[in-house]
Amino acid sequence: MKCRIFLVEDEYETRQSIHYLVDWAAYGFEIAGEAANGQQALELIAQARPHIVLTDIRMPQMDGVELTKTLQMRFPDIRVIVLSGYSDFEYVRDCFQYGAVDYVLKPTLRADELLTLLERIASKIPSCHFVPSFRPTAESLLGLLLAGMSENLAADPGPFFPGPQYRLLAMDVPYVFDKAPDLGRCCDLLRKAAQECFSGRCTTVAEFENRRLVLLINTSAEFERRDAMAARRVAVIMEHSLGDSFWVYSDAIGHWSELYQHWKNGYAATLKQRFYHHKDYFIEEASLRTGFQERVPWDVQHFSALLEQGRMLDALDAMVQYTRDILSTASMEELKLKALLSNIVYQIIDYLEEAELPLEHTVELRRNLIVRISNTRFSGELLQLTEQLAEELQQYCIVKKKPSEEMILDYVETHYAQQLSLYDLAKQFSFNYHYLSAYFTTHYQKSFTEYLNTVRIQKAQQLLQENILSVAEVGAQVGYTDNSYFSRVFKKSLGVTPTAYRKQYQKRQR
């Protein structure tokens, strides 16, 4: 007896993709009906009487929570599985309270995982009497073996794979291509290439996980060299047909029951090694690194210390050198390395924000730099980009030499009466303006303008005490061309106007 499934999903495309995700009949299931919302589903479920309802959570008219609650009251024998997104866990919790038995994440929905879940639930429904009616083919058996579902096989794969040894030739299609071609067409091409190159030997082609092309060569040790040459010819044919390829030829596998462990324990990861093999379209698993061990871990504390000390050039050099070391040894997985470099760039941009780099600059930097890192396809491209980023970021850091506190203070003390600005100071000492602003705040605990005003007010106090120049003349002497502005700054600093200060001083001297 087939287990009847009812599908409730408001998005037509998602509903169709689940409907055609697997050959339901081959696994002992049938789709008993579909609905676009909970209200519509209730009317149809009463007629279809399914064993399992697979329902979305967020739907119009009646959502998945209300549907689950109603089904529990009206049809308590029906099992409910919830389809959820990453942000739906509060709703999932409510569904469990109303009787749902499990949930599936829609963004990562896979045929093998859904089948495993459905088979487990169906086997526990007394009224279902679930018996899988799977009629195997070599390709379907290969898919089950790679998915780790050998315990669910109704037949021994031996008759399909009679040879004592197995090899895999596979490619992760979306990883290689920006836009994946028609996988069905790719399977046909691979099947024809295998028939041409492995004439007289047992080969099976499968499309696995909706992204991998897999060729299984069921052979024996005596054909080892011949098989390797034939596998390379297959890769050449596929390269000519598709325009771009990266095929990995596996080590020998001794028994069909070991296919899953071999796939899981490293071989699947090798399919993403193209990042380090730009021009290779065929490579043997034995020559690839399946487990990454960073020979020199990233010293985040040292890098942070360089930034805190204002040594941004040294920090950029450290970033570039570390990237060179990792790429030369292929000792880090691509996405992890890109994430690390993105974090380093973010840390630099955070530092520049603290250095008072205008917000529009940092927003643009974040958007462009991270996208550029993510878009690199090969290790050589990433190294070239890292070097380019270091050059571009240098414009925001010190150019010639470390700041000297004495040099800066002496210059301000000498030129305070001039129309002195931070730009003038940066130009004088060949510092980046934004870097120098942050450096000034860090070392003197105030902005450059505040520090300059402090020096000027101190000089003004001396001149006011001498009682030779007028208040306006004193202001002009210390760098303030606007007398009213001079008075405001003076009063903000000392709490009294320049005139009042002079009178107070003269009174104390009597």
pLDDT band at 216 (very low <50, low <70, confident <90, very high): very high
| Token duo for residue 113 | 């995982």
The candidate with the shortest Cα–Cα distance to 219, out of 158, 146, 166, is 166
Residue 457 DSSP code: H
Q: And the tokens for 479?
A: 């760098």
In terms of Cβ atoms closer than 10 Å to its own Cβ (0-12, 13-18, 19+), residue 104 is middle
Q: Is 325 left (phi over 0), alpha (psi -120 to 50) or beta?
A: alpha
Q: First and final CA of the chain: distance in angstroms?
A: 114
- Smallest CA-to-CA distance from 24 within 115, 140, 123 is with 115
Helix crossing, 224-242 with 183-197: angle to 10°? 140
pLDDT at residue 431 in the model: 66
CB-based contact 223:161 (threshold 8 Å): no
Q: Pairing state of beta strands 79-84 and 165-172?
A: unpaired
Task: Concatenate the DSSP letters of all residues of 312-349 into one string.
Answer: HHHHHHHHHHHHHHHHHHT-S-HHHHHHHHHHHHHHHH
pLDDT, average across residues 153-175: 80
Please check whether residue 320 is in contact with residue 296, taking contact to mean a CB–CB distance below 8 angstroms: no
What are the helix (H) ranges across 355-403?
359-375, 379-393
Least confident of 62-71, 98-107, 187-196: 98-107
Query: What tokens were used for 169?
Result: 């030739």
Confidence class of residue 179 from pLDDT cuts 50, 70 and 90? Answer: low
Q: What are the structure tokens assigned to 478, written together?
A: 């210390």
Instruction: Categorize the per-residue pLDDT at 506 as very low, low, confident or very high, splitting at 50, 70 and 90.
Output: confident
**pLDDT, tens only, 265-300:** 888 888 888 888 888 889 998 887 655 665 668 888
User: Which tens digit of pLDDT belongs to each residue from 86-108?
Assistant: 667 777 788 888 888 888 887 77
pLDDT for residue 220 is more than 90: no
pTM value is 0.51
Q: What values do phi and psi take at 210, rounded to 5?
A: 60, 25
- Across the chain, what does the average pLDDT equal? 83
Question: What are the tens digits of pLDDT across the range 316-350?
Answer: 999 999 999 888 888 888 888 999 998 998 888 88
- Residues 398-405: what's their mean pLDDT? 49
pLDDT value at position 461? Answer: 92
For the CA atoms of 411, 415, 419, 423, the dihedral, rounded to the nearest 10 degrees, stands at -10
pLDDT at 78 (0 to 100):
92
